[in-house]
Structure 1
Amino acid sequence: MASVFSKIIAGELPGRFVWQDPEVVAFLTIAPVAQGHTLVVPRAEVDRWTDLEPALLTRLNEVAQAVGKAVIQGFGASRAGYLIAGFEVPHTHIHVFPANDMSGFDLTVADPDTPAEESDAAADTLRRTLRDLGYGEFVPEG
């Protein structure tokens, strides 16, 4: 059975994509800990990050770093949070989010009721910032 992330990647479920390349995508989570909270996900369905091929893990981290730079710049954060948990969805994903303190590292504070307008605006900010940072070839249109 396909994971919910595979369904988002395939276009069967909606997603606010900010990055797409042949191996990796990034889209906003539906339950952010901060505006701009993004999931960096391999297209390949691999449950545990420890089971990824080393080259794919490297690519995931390259994309997470680019998204991290964008969340810092786009949202004025002092740092980009980075977290791998993997209990919510059995498909490897890296959480990248604006961080000014440790609160975002507690996923139990995520807000599943974030208004769609806020999520749309956050996705637009990330896309624009990623383009400004020179990653335009990987940034889809809104």
Structure 2
Amino acid sequence: MATIFTRIVEGEIPSYKIAETDQFLSFLDVRPTVEGHTLCIIKREVDYYFDLTDDELAGLTLFSKRVAQALKQVIDCKRIAVAVLGLEVPHTHVHLIPVRSEQDFHLGRSIEVSPERMEEIAAAVRAALEG
């Protein structure tokens, strides 16, 4: 059975896309811990981060770095925190979380962000990637 992320890749479920290549996709988390909480995934359905090939792991890291740099231009924060847990969805993904303090990094909670604000953030990060 396809994961929710595979269904996003295939266009069955809408998302607030940030960036996409042949191998990778990034989009805003629909249950963000803070505004701008972004997920970067490999399109190939692989459950565990360390089961990626070396090239996939390097590629996902560099893709995530590029997205994080653009995200930091858009969201007022000190850093972009990174987490790789993968327990909630069995599909390798990297969390990029804008943080001002360590209290912002709390994956067990989520905030409400309006669809309009989500699209505004996604569009701004896409523009930063292009610029």
The alignment partner of 1:114 has SS state of coil
Gaps of 5+ in 1: 133-142
Which residue is 1:4 aligned to? 4
**CA distance in structure 2 between the aligned counterparts of 1:53 and 1:85, rounded to whole angstroms:** 18
Matching residue's letter, 1:123: A
The alignment partner of 2:108 has SS state of helix
Q: Post-superposition shift, 1:122?
A: 0.9
Gaps of 5+ in 2: none
Percent identity of paired positions between Structure 1 and Structure 2: 31
The alignment partner of 1:19 has SS state of strand
Which residue is 1:136 aligned to? none
Please list, as runs of the form range in 1=range in 2, the aligned pairs for 1:24-39 lying within 5 A after superposition: 24-39=24-39
Q: Post-superposition shift, 1:54?
A: 0.9
The alignment partner of 1:69 has SS state of helix
| 1:71 is aligned to 2:71 | yes
Matching residue's letter, 1:43: K
**CA distance in structure 1 between the aligned counterparts of 2:105 and 2:51, rounded to whole angstroms:** 23
Q: TM-score normalized by structure 2?
A: 0.95
Which residue is 2:116 aligned to? 117
Which residue is 1:83 aligned to? 83
Render the CA deviation track for 1:40-79: whole Å, top value 9, x for unaligned: 0000000010111110011110011111111211113211
Moved over 3 A (4+): none
Which residue is 1:107 aligned to? 107
**CA distance in structure 2 between the aligned counterparts of 1:130 and 1:47, rounded to whole angstroms:** 28
Matching residue's letter, 2:4: V
